[in-house]
Structure 1
Amino acid sequence: MLYRVDRTWRRAGDTVLAGSPLTMFRLSTSGGAVVDRLVAGDHIETSTLVDRMLEAGAIHPRPERSTVFEVADVTIVTPQLGGTVRFSERVVVDDGSVPPLAGASVRLATNRGPAAARNAGRREVDTALIAFVDADVDLPSQVTGGPTASDEGIARAWWEPLLAHFDDPRVGAVAPRVTGDPGSSLDLGPDPARVRQGTRVSYVPAAALIVRSEAFDEIGGFDEQMRFGEDVDFVWRLDQAGWGCRYEPAATVEHRRRATVRERLRQQYGYGSSSAPLALRHPRALAPFRSDGWTASSLLLALTGHPLVGLGLAGSRTWSIRRKLPDVAPATLLRLSVTNHVAAARQLTTAVRRAWWPLVAVAALVSRRARRLAVVAVVAAPHRLMLDVAFGAGIWSSMLRLKDWKAITPSITLGPGRQRRR
């Protein structure tokens, strides 16, 4: 197998810092040789070190062409409400449309939501893999070949990076990158990732998701009680059951944006409304801000009007780490510290715009520091402001309805994890 290192990768001698959350690996002589070959682009056999690095998100498989699966091993399932059935090759599930959809494979008598529709579609599938693709998602051939392009014309280049991951029998789901609406919570960025709650890529949407049929059946499919967030819950339950979940942006699909601003905001509100139900099912998984205490404190000090104090705190933390890692070059530790603080700052400003904006807005009425924090959060990503505020409104509506506040509670840890010498 070929691997690529995560963007967080930093190596100094027998020490590697990488992954999400950031993890320290101490390498033995043989472990160092394995890492040398991995970075050089050689094929690497599975080992304890490789498995630990995969689990930590420090390295990612570099997909080639699958030697096990091909397009014929995949059935596309599309839940649909209203509109027109465009693809005869798919299993299209009519989720209670009025009037009924002509040409649908399955019809539910009433609208029961995407979870129930996907579960109904799975019962029509006899292939090893299922590709759940929403009706408003265009695969590459549909973009280049027009709205009537056949599923059979889907570019092989789209499938191959995803199918190759399933050569590993431990992988239960793989998702492509979903682009379309700038600032949408569906687009998870250009970097590959192991998907796990509390990490950089903590979920993937089922707008486009390939799942191993065996894994789907083992966890009982999607939770039909959830109208929103059922895909997040599904992926987390897969991970908890021991199935690997991968995000592979080498494959990209396009999600058609809603026609009006009002529809786009309503969509984001719906996404946000899944937060409290998810937090009840998965406690501590939805923290809008995750960081170590030193980084969080230095950021808050800097953003609320005490930049020199915040810089001093960050510097003292870097120096304390330097004393513990004398073989790591100071320049490497400095770059790591800067990268860590920049990533945390982005996460913090997103939390202010989404989960915490009602609290910050109230505090801003009486606090200059809160006003400063609000301005920084807006300036950090002005193009995302409306969508983030709508998402946050959904979060708060769900929390008020269920009287549970886990969805806005931050998670602060002591520092990076450690791995034993390998």
Structure 2
Amino acid sequence: MRPPARLPDGMVVRLGDRVRVEDDGRALVGGAPLRVMYLKPAAVPLLRGRRLTVTDAQTAALADVLLGAGLADPVVSEGTPGPLSESEVTWVVPVRDRPEQLDRLLGALGEGATVIVVDDASRDPAAVRRVADAHGARLEVLAVNVGPAGARNHGLRLVTTPFVAFVDSDAVPEPGALDLLLRHFADPRVALVAPRILALPHPRPTAVERYEDARSSLDLGEQPALVRPRSWVSWVSSTCLVGRVELLGEGFGDGMRVAEDVDLAWRLDAEGHRVRYEPAAIVRHEHRATLVPWLARKAFYGTGAHPLAVRHPEEVAPAVLAPWSAAMLLALLAQRRWSVPVALAIAAVTVVRLSRRLPQSAHPLATASRLTADGVGAALVQAMALLLRHWWPGVAMAAVVSRRVRRAVAVAALVDSLIEWRRTRSSLGPVRFAVLRRLDDLAYGAGVWWSALRGRSTAALRPSFRSRPRG
């Protein structure tokens, strides 16, 4: 394979909001995974106000390194060369029944769009055909239901344009979303781009819909990101994805009916391509509005854990902890008089050891302290997720006989709910939000355990213990 062309002149990249600039601009702390990157003296003045504009081979090389490390994001609203023509994109829509939703989607795509509708063995295929014919879309009818991933792959094999946009029938892209997503392909290494998924407007939302407005599993937040395992954004939803056809290969995992989007993103990353999340591009989705279907969907998402563990055994762990942070958590969970002093001692030793691994830093102890604090925060968040989400069936049994486990669960549930309620600015009151938050975790965790039992493997339940990567 020939090496990709460099980033084009005029492209603008900006350091991510989570990236810290230290040592008078020489050191960048952040990225995916977390690292400390030291810039060469000639590179420091190229970053002005956390931004870099590609003007030559030198700035293109620096921008490429920053993008590949997850330290910077393309500024697609300015500078980046103009969007590709929509004539270079084919929309592929998998559908099984849902003629009303399909009609709404095709109407939003417009008359000039090239669309392939793949009917995945609908019970009423005539209704789907009427909608496709009314909008001038090409219709492919499958005799046997193969699931959304298989239906998308069928459509992908028929695409003759350089780019493909997969979109589910119960979604609606907002105007301009496709243009923003296409701008990312100015980077020749980008294989796949995903928009932000938000709920369709609803005049009288239920409590479930109000929760989903704030804390949907499909909404990956307000910050753009490089998508890869173990990063801030580690996956993207197949609700809507735009891809470079020549890099997608055979497409989604054969036979996968859940987590096929995660698998595709991780495979592309492992192959050296880039997957981007662009929240400025918004696609609206018809979320589930009532409790039982909502819980069933959350559990369904959880059942993707074991298939991912089979395909990506190194990446699917429910928590990734450095040995020192795992020891610190064990000390705190013991809930003894010595717990806090021991945890503080572990953190102090970590700061000293880490500072010795930062010989280029002008202030190694300060940098090491901030990195350790980041690690402590991440470890506590992951510990709460293990107790309340991934491990809850085992934790519930332990809580029956252990007061310390009950205390840990109560504290974790309270802290997690308050943090998420404030972070998401939910319109629900804190009590109702907390109840739905816990039901969300219980349903997803049940799906994870069901998939592990069915697969006769604990791989999706075991945390990973790795040392912090160095810059």
TM-score (norm 1): 0.87
- Pick closer, same or farther for the CA change 1:377–1:94 going to 2, 3 Å: farther
Q: Cα deviations across residues 171-204 of structure 1 (Å, max 9, x unaligned)?
A: 1100011123243322212222111122222111
Match of residue 211 from structure 1: 243
The offset of 1:417, in angstroms, is 2.1
Q: Does the 8 A contact of 1:10 with 1:332 survive in 2? A: no
User: Is the partner of 1:365 in helix, strand or coil?
Assistant: helix
The offset of 1:330, in angstroms, is 5.4
Match of residue 400 from structure 2: 365
Gap runs ≥5 in structure 1: 141-154
Letter in 2 for 1:99: D
The offset of 1:304, in angstroms, is 4.9
The offset of 1:109, in angstroms, is 1.1
Q: Confirm whether residue 55 of structure 1 aligns to residue 68 of structure 2.
A: yes
Q: Does the 8 A contact of 1:304 with 1:370 survive in 2? A: no
Structure with bigger RCO (C-alpha 8 Å, 6+ apart)? 1
CA distance in 2, matches of 1:328, 1:335: 11
- Pick closer, same or farther for the CA change 1:308–1:237 going to 2, 3 Å: same
Q: Confirm whether residue 256 of structure 1 aligns to residue 309 of structure 2.
A: no
Q: Confirm whether residue 310 of structure 1 aligns to residue 343 of structure 2.
A: yes
Match of residue 395 from structure 1: 448
CA distance in 2, matches of 1:324, 1:231: 37
Match of residue 323 from structure 2: 293
Q: Confirm whether residue 97 of structure 1 aligns to residue 118 of structure 2.
A: no
Q: Cα deviations across residues 240-284 of structure 1 (Å, max 9, x unaligned)?
A: 222211111121222221132110111111111111011111112
Q: Confirm whether residue 126 of structure 1 aligns to residue 133 of structure 2.
A: no
Q: Cα deviations across residues 62-105 of structure 1 (Å, max 9, x unaligned)?
A: 21354361223222211111221312653221111111123341
User: Is the partner of 1:30 in helix, strand or coil?
Assistant: coil
The offset of 1:52, in angstroms, is 3.2
Q: Does the 8 A contact of 2:12 with 2:51 survive in 1? A: no
Q: Does the 8 A contact of 1:113 with 1:224 survive in 2? A: no
User: Is the partner of 1:354 in helix, strand or coil?
Assistant: helix
CA distance in 1, matches of 2:287, 2:330: 35
Gap runs ≥5 in structure 2: 1-10, 108-112, 133-138, 200-211, 418-433
User: Is the partner of 1:102 in helix, strand or coil?
Assistant: helix
| 1:1-400 pair list within 5 angstroms | 1-13=11-23, 14-34=26-46, 36-37=47-48, 39-43=50-54, 45=56, 46-63=59-76, 64=78, 66-67=81-82, 69-84=84-99, 85-86=102-103, 87=106, 89=113, 90-100=115-125, 101-103=128-130, 104=132, 105-140=139-174, 155-156=175-176, 158-180=177-199, 181=212, 182-216=214-248, 219-305=249-335, 306-325=339-358, 327-328=362-363, 333-379=368-414, 380-381=416-417, 382=434, 383-400=436-453
Letter in 2 for 1:177: R
Match of residue 208 from structure 2: none
The offset of 1:132, in angstroms, is 0.8
- Pick closer, same or farther for the CA change 1:60–1:344 going to 2, 3 Å: farther
- Pick closer, same or farther for the CA change 1:265–1:41 going to 2, 3 Å: same
Q: Does the 8 A contact of 1:12 with 1:329 survive in 2? A: no
Report the aligned-residue RMSD.
Answer: 2.3
Q: Does the 8 A contact of 1:287 with 1:407 survive in 2? A: yes
Letter in 2 for 1:37: R
Q: Cα deviations across residues 157-176 of structure 1 (Å, max 9, x unaligned)?
A: x2232111101221110001
Q: How many residues align?
A: 400
Q: Does the 8 A contact of 1:78 with 1:135 survive in 2? A: yes
User: Is the partner of 2:129 in helix, strand or coil?
Assistant: coil
User: Is the partner of 2:50 in helix, strand or coil?
Assistant: helix
CA distance in 1, matches of 2:260, 2:460: 16
- Pick closer, same or farther for the CA change 1:312–1:161 going to 2, 3 Å: farther
The offset of 1:300, in angstroms, is 4.2
TM-score (norm 2): 0.79
CA distance in 2, matches of 1:296, 1:224: 37
CA distance in 1, matches of 2:55, 2:389: 42
The offset of 1:6, in angstroms, is 2.3
- Pick closer, same or farther for the CA change 1:417–1:166 going to 2, 3 Å: same
